[in-house]
Structure 1
Amino acid sequence: RLYKSDLFSDLTIICGSNPSPVHQAVICPRSDYFAAALRFPGKEAEEGKIDLSVEDPEMVERMIYYFYHLDYLPTSYNRRPNQGVLEIHAQMYAMADKYQISEMKDLAKAKFEAAMRFHGGYKLLPHVVPIVFTTTPDSDAQLRNLVARAIALDNLLRLKSFRGAVEKIDGLSLAVL
């Protein structure tokens, strides 16, 4: 009920044209980033607003949905037909890393792996490789290893799209080896 209502909301997440009223008691226990932003004196704590305008509004909407439901919906908010499920899971993983939402990060990894296995995601890997290898720190190899393993085990380097991805993305060729 809280997700659908702004009753008792005490924080606003701003992204795009629609501010999202949320509840600190729901958001902060799930995200160390938001907890820290609101715990210490500063603009966010004083105004009760966190500006995420640099993010994709659809991804922020998915993140907020996750806070309340402990899941996110990969397709319900998808207004861009070329945005694939693997891309959404990779972006949610990166967002979870950035905003320190460890359980969402684990969920995104599991959904990413399942999509690769059960939904023919291997064909979509050329589009997701740049996201996986550029949106998380080099020290975080969880999705990178899944992608590299898929490329190596299925000999996807024989495909022109994968050879191009290997040449352009730092760290991918080493991960595949």
Structure 2
Amino acid sequence: MDSEGLLKEKSSRACANFWNDPAFAVAAHHAFLTIPYSDKYLRDIILKTLAYHANEMLKKPEIEALFTESNGMAYALLKAKTSKYSDFTITCGGEIYSVHKAVVCARSGFFERAERFPQEDGSLKGNVDLSEDEPAIVKLLVQYLYEGLHGFPALGTHSAPVFTGSRLSRYYYEFPHTCSSRYPPPEHKVCDHHSCRSDPYDDECNDFVCKVCCPYWSLPPAETMLLHAKMYEIGDKYDVTGLKDLSKHNFHLSCISHWNDDTFASSAHYAFSTTPDEDKGLRDIVSQTIADHMVLLNKPAVEAILNEFNGLAVGILKTRAKDLGWIK
């Protein structure tokens, strides 16, 4: 056995023998702070040890503090696997989610307020019904409350394009790339597979990603655009920390990738019909996307949205004026 294998074996035995010792939390804290997230071995030993001794370990404040500091939702993930500690219920249609106040109330202002509101008999409320919402969206909401960004591929940040070829010094290889009239060719040298143009209305030069330079970059499905708009809505409705920002980010990426797909119009309509005028999160993204791709105005579905929502037309006009330097 090599030195690395021996070290792993000793670590496993130490966790098995001393899991109830105060030194365990200290050692685990050091491991999570100093070991890269991609190195799973020791992290997994610690989590498996905690899961195996969950009934005793979850009662220790130092364990909760450890995972709250080291990995945000790791403690919540562990508690989610221990139904004994469930003390709150979320229902939606025929679905029942046995959750934990320590998790959902900490991440949602709505659930925190619902838990504090007393029932008629004076006892604290232990359940909330979300049947007016889509069951699939509520399921994703509960999943987000427990897992956050990590382990949540449906809502997680899409990977940025990564260049994998041989670099030439005269190219920048920065993707997505948008040509600009302020830096006409030959200043723009993104890669040897793309000729930059000074025409800001050329859609081929907006958010360009070279498939030769970045062969492993895959686009999220177009359908996720509407999903992100719905998650943005439910994140706002239930005051969920971080969910609106994450959904906004992913909605933006989906618009970049699928602005010419038919789902863009339906997603844009949903964004405008479910957010107030003062909430610019998704609205500004829709305005910017249409301003970047004015050819979208030829689509009847997009024209219908502009006729229905006056604020969208104004937003596009302001965006184009800023891009052209007419206003600041």
- Structure 2 Cα separation of the partners of residues 73 and 169 of structure 1: 33
Structure-2 residue corresponding to 1:48: 126
Letter of the 2:129 counterpart: D
Written as runs of structure 1 = structure 2, the 5 A alignment for 1:15-54 is: 15-42=92-119, 46-54=124-132
2:200 corresponds to 1:120:
no
SS of the residue 2:93 aligns to: coil
- Structure 1 Cα separation of the partners of residues 238 and 82 of structure 2: 23
- Structure 1 Cα separation of the partners of residues 88 and 114 of structure 2: 11
Answer 1 or 2: higher relative contact order, Cα 8 Å, separation at least 6.
1
- Structure 2 Cα separation of the partners of residues 21 and 5 of structure 1: 10
- Flag the structure with larger Rg: 2
CA apart distance, 1:5: 4.6
2:240 to 85, 94, 101: 101
Structure-1 residue corresponding to 2:85: 8
Structure-1 residue corresponding to 2:271: 132
- Structure 2 Cα separation of the partners of residues 6 and 58 of structure 1: 22
| Long gaps (5+) in structure 1 | 76-82
Is the 2:259–2:289 contact (alpha carbons within 8 Å) kept by the matching residues of 1? no
SS of the residue 1:29 aligns to: helix
> Cα RMSD (Å) of the superposition?
2.2
CA apart distance, 1:3: 3.1
- Structure 2 Cα separation of the partners of residues 102 and 172 of structure 1: 27
The range that moved more, 55-64 or 121-130, is 121-130
Runs of 4+ displaced beyond 4 Å: none
Aligned residue pairs, count: 169
Instruction: Specify whether residues 27 and 170 from structure 1 end up closer, same or farther in structure 2 by C-alpha distance, changes over 3 A only.
Output: farther
Letter of the 1:106 counterpart: D
- Structure 2 Cα separation of the partners of residues 66 and 33 of structure 1: 15
Structure-1 residue corresponding to 2:67: none
Please report the TM-score for the alignment, with normalisation by the length of structure 1. Answer: 0.86
2:160 corresponds to 1:74:
no
- Structure 2 Cα separation of the partners of residues 39 and 91 of structure 1: 27
SS of the residue 1:102 aligns to: coil
2:300 to 142, 157, 160: 160
- Structure 1 Cα separation of the partners of residues 312 and 117 of structure 2: 39
CA apart distance, 1:28: 0.7
Structure-2 residue corresponding to 1:57: 135
- Structure 2 Cα separation of the partners of residues 4 and 136 of structure 1: 35
Letter of the 2:106 counterpart: P
SS of the residue 2:80 aligns to: coil
CA apart distance, 1:101: 1.1
Please report the TM-score for the alignment, with normalisation by the length of structure 2. Answer: 0.48
- Structure 2 Cα separation of the partners of residues 62 and 164 of structure 1: 31
Structure-1 residue corresponding to 2:230: 91
Identical amino acids, percent of aligned pairs: 33
Letter of the 1:64 counterpart: V
